[in-house]
Amino acid sequence: MIKVGVAGYGTIGKRVAEALLKSDDMQLIGVSKTTPDYSAYLAKSKGVKVYAHSKADLTNFEKAGFKVEGTIEDLLSQVDLIVDTSPGKKGVENKPLYEEAGVKMIFQGGEKANIAEVSFNAQANFDQAWGKKIVRVVSCNTTGLSRVLHTIHSNIGVKQAKVVLIRRTCDPKESKGLVNGIQPEMKMPSHHGPDLNTVIPDIKIESLAVVVPTTLMHLHTLLVEFKKETSREQLIDIIKNTRRIILVNGDHGLTSTNRVIELARDIGRLRYDLPEVVMWEDTISVKDGWGYLVYAVHQEAIVQPENIDAIRSMNKLMPKEESIKKTDETLGIVNGYLYK
Ligand code: NAD
């Protein structure tokens, strides 16, 4: 049993914590929080031990009458590994604490790549995290892109890729965000192509991005030039048989991200989570040696399984395929069609 702590208990932290509770080769020792908000009470009510993230935070908990188990140092003294899910750029500030405690650490995509020895995506480079001490699970967009490009690259070969990312403005729980506009990323090409290269260095890729006023999912429009002749049927077959990618169809009424989310609700997914990439089968096309693909990424859920596989690789628990299969079975993650 690998003993794990989670620092930060927001969108990603609560999902990682829940995945740890479900995984029989890992033990969630506790989570650190900065404020005694409702999620601290909910965590406690589920039997999850809550620690104050710092001595200053401890005062907030004491003032609110919320009894914590101690501070982050107390949590770190009991774990083999900490999953940092603090807001972007805060992980780097937390890193010295983890180093002092001598624990393995996982950071998220909001941190720069140089925070870790390896930027990670389970399907693309599980083996590179094998036995490593510091790993960064890449962002939601890079995770989606890595899954799709890795399977095409390993099955067909990718000469080059071009992607336009249509990004959600913020997560549903946020009180900020773009309300009535479309905002281009001012830096073009965007950082997403180089970030993909931290995981799969040998794919030539350019990316552009815009932000739109929606909170549910991101959407990628991807163009891939193949290294060898490939038919639409072959491409669909590859995608259909790739773990963590599901296919949906516009002619079944699933014509937009909001309808995809409704489907997730209808099949009873907790918080309508879709850790899978959701690809429209209708959009998959091949013309003049290029593949055309459009898919959606549920930003809140997609990195949940990646964190679990990263823990297994860093602790040399089991090989890649076994870990991915185990994670998928544990979390109910599927591939292919959700229904016939
Ligand atoms: P969040 O704001 O929902 O949660 C962050 C949590 O950390 C909150 O509970 C907050 O109180 C706590 N916190 C604040 N300051 C802290 C500190 N200094 N140390 C420890 N905890 C602190 O953020 P999130 O969306 O869960 O994002 C976490 C990380 O995951 C970021 O790196 C982000 O870029 C990445 N990520 C986010 C998404 C997404 O869409 N939400 C997707 C993939 C990756």
| Domain CATH code at residue 234 | 3.30.360.10
Q: What is the DSSP letter of 108?
A: -
Same domain? 28 vs 171 = no
CA of residue 123 to ligand 1 center, whole Å: 24
Same domain? 13 vs 154 = no
Domains identified in the chain, total number: 2
Same domain? 124 vs 190 = no
CA of residue 276 to ligand 1 center, whole Å: 20
Same domain? 23 vs 82 = yes
Sequence-separated (6 or more) residues with CB below 8 Å from residue 233: none
Q: Does 339 fall in a domain? A: no
Ligand 1 pocket list (CB less than 6 A):
7-13, 34-35, 53, 85-88, 90, 94, 108-111, 139-140, 171, 299-300, 303
CA of residue 289 to ligand 1 center, whole Å: 40
pLDDT digits (tens, 9 = 90+) for 239-267: 999 999 999 999 999 999 999 999 999 99
Edge-to-edge strand ranges of the sheet holding 26-33:
50-52, 26-33, 2-7, 81-84, 104-107, 134-137, 118-120
So what's the pLDDT on residue 145?
98
Mean local confidence (pLDDT), 297-301 = 98
Nearest residue by C-alpha to atom 12 in ligand 1 = 8
Same domain? 110 vs 193 = no
Same domain? 128 vs 12 = yes
Q: Which domain holds residue 202?
A: 140-302
Same domain? 204 vs 233 = yes
Q: What is the number of the ligand 1 atom nearest to the C-alpha of 143?
A: 43
Mean local confidence (pLDDT), 54-63 = 94
Same domain? 23 vs 159 = no
Residue of 9, 11, 171 to test ligand 1 pocket, by largest number of atoms within 8 Å of CB: 11
pLDDT digits (tens, 9 = 90+) for 8-28: 999 999 999 999 999 999 999
Nearest residue by C-alpha to atom 18 in ligand 1 = 90
Same domain? 79 vs 190 = no
Q: Does 104 fall in a domain? A: yes
pTM for the model stands at 0.98
Same domain? 81 vs 191 = no
Same domain? 125 vs 160 = no
Same domain? 82 vs 199 = no
Contact status, residue 113 vs residue 119, Cβ threshold 8 Å: yes
140 part of the active site: yes
